[in-house]
Amino acid sequence: MHILWIKTELLHPIDKGGRIRTYNMLRALKHQHRVTYLTLDNGAADPDAERLATEYCHDLIRVPFVEARRRSPKFWLELLGNLVSPLPYAISKYRSRGMRDEVIRAVGGRAIDVVVCDFLAPSQNVPDGLSCPTVLFQHNVEAAIWQRHVDVRTNPLARAYFREQWRRMERFERRECHRFDRVVAVSRADADLIEQAYGVASVGDVPTGVDTEFFRPAGRMAREPHDLVFTGAMDWMPNEDGITWFVDHVLPRIHARLPDVTLTVVGRNPPRAIQALAARDARLRVTGTVPDVRPYMERASVFVVPLRVGGGTRLKIYEALAMERALVSTSIGAEGLPLTHGTHAMIADGEEPFSQAVLDLLEDPARSERLGAEGATWVREHFGWDNAAATFARLLAAAGEAGRDRRPAA
């Protein structure tokens, strides 16, 4: 197949879940299929991003794009203008006539077999009436994320804002899921939700994967018996919310029994609010961007995923398990992954259950070791990226067969 893959960004640096999933999926697909990667380019990627794109695609099409930096004057002006838009801001900011024109040009001139729109945001730039099938790859059910933002907000103005964004996202997502020939989710749970909430028939799903060779303990870092670790892009609101909740409500309960417990938060672009948490307590470390997350994971005794908001599946969970680390997650954090509580990880919701699960593992190192070993064996046997890419390729081939009659005769 010749796949036209559409996304809002270049993939390097590969420092957040969506990029990690796409990079590994495309790298595996590239071995068997031709990939043309069409992306918006705001100039913020790694300076070597264009050269490194050869790792995951054969051809690269870049569309110049100006994106407002978060909390900049342009950002606030765009938010203000969005008040009268029917689209949520997270979607409207990626509208690009240039990308739409390039999609039409690529499909018309490159013998494309299938178009894959990666995430919901660029879907608005994929026109109707293309001569090949279109597939919407949903890493999350976006409306579900925004609904959860509403659920955790206590400020009335913030709650009202997120509620309106949720309503707009739900309308847009419903429309786009029906507009594409095929929808692919990252878990059976997400696929079922799309089918039920939006009335979309036969949504496909691909398993979440992990690079089982890369994420493996090197044996060079001594484990700190009372160190907790979290990894994730800290400019993603669900991660910021989860860490704030954990530090304010869960960590004090842990410190009441084990005062020397530390938390290391590893991830790019930590906002000022998260940096302020670290400034008030030396037991909280915020690293910002790091060249390699593995040493921080290997040094910790327990990996925590205290998410209250989210969608799709968390790649960080499989990465932590592959690193042989005991893991405690909320139900939302572990959503969509076939984890067994007490076998692969500990699942706990609420301040007291979450803190108790962490304490149980810290105070019983042998149990923590067993949990980490069991989780590592499980992901290594079942969740390599080649398996996920093969499943995705079968779904694309099926979409191509179903849409073959739409192509013009030779």
The token pair at 408 is 């013009």
Average pLDDT over residues 220-237: 92
Q: Name the residue range of residue 174's domain.
A: 2-209+385-406
Q: Where residue 404 falls among pLDDT bands split at 50, 70, 90?
A: low
CA-based end-to-end distance of the chain: 17
Predicted pLDDT at 402: 62
* Highest-confidence segment of 71-75, 216-220, 318-322: 318-322
**Strands of the sheet with 227-231, listed across from one edge:** 284-288, 262-266, 227-231, 302-305, 326-329, 346-347
The encoded tokens of residue 195 equal: 């089918």
Tens digit of each residue's pLDDT (9 = 90 or more) over 97-113: 999 999 999 999 999 99
Closest residue by Cα to residue 4 from 101, 99, 97, 107: 107
* DSSP string covering 207-235: ---B-TTTSS--S-SPPPTTEEEEES-TT
Q: What angle do CA 352, 187, 16 make, to 5 degrees?
A: 75
The mean per-residue pLDDT over the stretch 19-26 comes to: 93
Q: Decide: 316 and 17 in contact? Cβ < 8 Å.
A: yes
pLDDT digits (tens, 9 = 90+) for 156-212: 998 998 999 999 999 999 999 999 999 999 999 999 999 999 999 989 999 899 999
Q: What is the pLDDT of residue 313?
A: 82
Same-domain pairing of 136 and 192: yes
pLDDT at res. 82: 86
Contact 204, 183 (CB under 8 A): yes
Instruction: Return the higher-pLDDT residue of 305 and 46.
Output: 305
277: which 2 tokens? 């948490």
For residue 215, pLDDT over 80 is answered with: yes
Q: How far is 324 from 318, CA to CA, in rounded Å? A: 10
Q: Is residue 77 part of a domain?
A: yes
Q: Looking at the structure, do residues 365 and 389 belong to the same domain, yes or no?
A: no
Predicted local confidence at residue 409, as pLDDT: 45
Q: How many domains does the chain have?
A: 2
Q: Is the pLDDT of residue 357 over 90?
A: yes
Whether 376 and 245 map to the same domain: the answer is yes
Residues 25, 112: one domain? yes
Cα 369 to Cα 24, 206, 255, 303, 364: the distances in Å are 29, 30, 22, 12, 9
Assess whether 341 and 270 both reside in one domain: yes
At residue 335, the pLDDT reads 92
C-alpha triplet 47, 96, 99: angle, nearest 5°: 70
Query: Residue 154: its pLDDT value, please?
Result: 86
Residues forming a β-bridge with 134: 115
* Candidate ranges 118-127, 333-342, 397-406; pick with highest mean pLDDT: 118-127
What's the whole-number mean pLDDT along residues 68-81?
Answer: 83
217 in a domain, yes or no?
no
CA distances from 93 to 69, 81, 229 (A): 11, 11, 33
For the chain, the helix, strand and coil percentages under 3-state DSSP, each to the nearest 5: 45, 15, 35
Give the pLDDT score at 244.
Answer: 95
Structural domain contains residue 179 = yes
On whether both 245 and 391 belong to a single domain, the answer is no
Q: Is residue 324 part of a domain?
A: yes
Does residue 365 share a domain with residue 251?
yes
* Alpha carbons 142 and 94: distance in angstroms, whole number: 15
| Token pair of 273 as six digits | 């609010």
Same domain, 42 and 178: yes
Over the stretch 371-390, which tens digit does the pLDDT of each residue have? 999 999 999 998 989 888 99
Residue 40 belongs to a domain? yes
Sorting pLDDT into bands at 50, 70 and 90, what band is 410?
very low
d(CA 40, CA 46): 14
Q: Hey, what amino acid is at 328? A: V
Q: Do 19 and 61 belong to one domain?
A: yes
What does each C-alpha distance from 387 to 29, 209, 382 come to in angstroms?
11, 8, 8
User: Does 214 reside within a domain?
Assistant: no
Please report the pLDDT score of residue 401 as a whole number.
Answer: 72
Helices (H), 136-209: 142-152, 156-179, 188-198
User: Read out DSSP for 19-60?
Assistant: HHHHHHHHHHHTTTSEEEEEEEE-S-S-TTHHHHGGGT-SEE
Q: How many of the other CB atoms lie within 10 Å of CB of 290?
A: 14
| Residue percentage of the chain with pLDDT more than 70 | 98
The closest alpha carbon to 147, from 181, 112, 205, 197, belongs to 197
Does residue 397 share a domain with residue 349? no
Q: What is the pLDDT of residues 253-267, one digit of tens each?
A: 999 999 999 999 999
CATH code of the domain containing 22: 3.40.50.2000
